[in-house]
């Protein structure tokens, strides 16, 4: 049975002390849910937030990792370091990384492999920009991102991957995908996984939706058979909103 997951992506928000407060509030509110809840914090928050999280089903994640293992890469943070700080998950290939930092498919594939090697679960992001959707290229864009980023993984590695479909036009814009648009893409992604890895692994893979997800729209999105949760940006910065989304399941 695939997991239901709600992951918060704090992005570059909250000073350390504020992040600790936010984590503490979320930690207090998480209980009695079968949803896996993940806080993806800035790097420097990881080890402090780790000390706070003590609820079953509540995990720590990073938002990125280096594409190299270790060494002379000034400013980078390796998957091994992230693991040593207590994280269990790492977001790879968020559209902001793809567009602002020019992360291409090959780089992301290397990051995924290093994450897995260091026992981190990659939350692999994919999604089209508005022009691509308007040109009806969204399906092929997402398919290509997944194939190039993930499809050389053997079965035993792929079954640890979480996928997040995030239409770029919905991220931080307040324009959420309709429930139908989300389900259509999630079903296509799952069918793609069936064709490469078989039904069992595809059925076990959690596919999250991301982009302007809020307590008010989460229930409808999560009601879809192929939407297994959400990757939450803005609404994860407020503990009540974030928990509202967790409880939408």
Chain residues binding ligand PGA by CB under 6 A are 9, 166, 171-172, 210-213, 231-235
Kindly state the smallest distance separating residue 193's Cβ from ligand PGA, in Å.
Answer: 21
Instruction: Report helix, strand or coil for 48.
Output: helix
Q: For 196, what's the count of Cα atoms within 13 Å in the CB-facing half-sphere?
A: 19
Is position 247 annotated as part of the catalytic site?
no
What are the backbone angles phi and psi of residue 226, rounded to the nearest 5°? -105, 10
Indicate which residue of 80, 96, 128, 166 is catalytic: 166
Minimum CB distance to ligand PGA smaller for 77 or for 232: 232
Q: Identify which of residues 132 and 166 has a Cβ nearer to ligand PGA in the complex.
A: 166
* Residue among 45, 94, 138, 186 flagged as catalytic: 94
Distance CA 115, CA 78 (A): 9
Shortest gap between Cβ of 176 and ligand PGA (angstroms)?
8
Distances (CA, A) of 223 to 176, 178, 230: 15, 12, 12
Smallest gap from residue 102 Cβ to ligand PGA (A): 18
> 3, 28, 18: which is closest to 240 by C-alpha?
28
Q: Confirm whether 94 is a catalytic residue.
A: yes
Our CB check for ligand PGA shows the closer of 80 and 162 to be 162
The catalytic site residues sit at: 94, 166
């Amino acid at each position: 049975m695939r997991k239901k997951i709600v992951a918060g992506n704090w992005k570059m928000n909250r000073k350390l002390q504020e992040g600790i407060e936010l984590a503490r509030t979320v930690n207090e509110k998480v209980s009695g849910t079968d949803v896996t809840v993940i806080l993806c914090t800035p790097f420097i928050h990881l080890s402090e937030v780790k000390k706070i999280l003590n609820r079953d089903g509540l995990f720590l994640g990073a938002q990125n990792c280096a594409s190299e293992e270790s060494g002379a890469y000034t400013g980078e943070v390796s998957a091994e370091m992230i693991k040593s700080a207590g994280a269990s998950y790492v977001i790879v290939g968020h559209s902001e990384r793809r567009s602002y930092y020019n992360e291409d498919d090959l780089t992301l594939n290397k990051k995924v492999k290093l994450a897995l090697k260091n026992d981190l679960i990659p939350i692999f992001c994919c999604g089209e920009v508005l022009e691509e959707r308007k040109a009806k290229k969204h399906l092929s864009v997402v398919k290509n991102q997944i194939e190039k980023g993930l499809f050389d993984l053997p079965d035993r590695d792929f079954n640890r991957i979480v996928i997040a479909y995030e239409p770029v036009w919905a991220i931080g814009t307040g324009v959420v995908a309709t429930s139908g648009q989300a389900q259509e893409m999630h079903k296509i992604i799952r069918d793609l996984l069936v064709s490469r890895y078989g039904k069992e692994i595809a059925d076990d893979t959690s596919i999250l939706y991301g982009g302007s997800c809020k307590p008010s729209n989460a229930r409808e999105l999560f009601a879809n058979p192929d939407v297994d949760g959400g990757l939450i940006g803005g609404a994860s910065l407020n503990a009540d909103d974030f928990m509202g989304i967790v409880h939408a399941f």
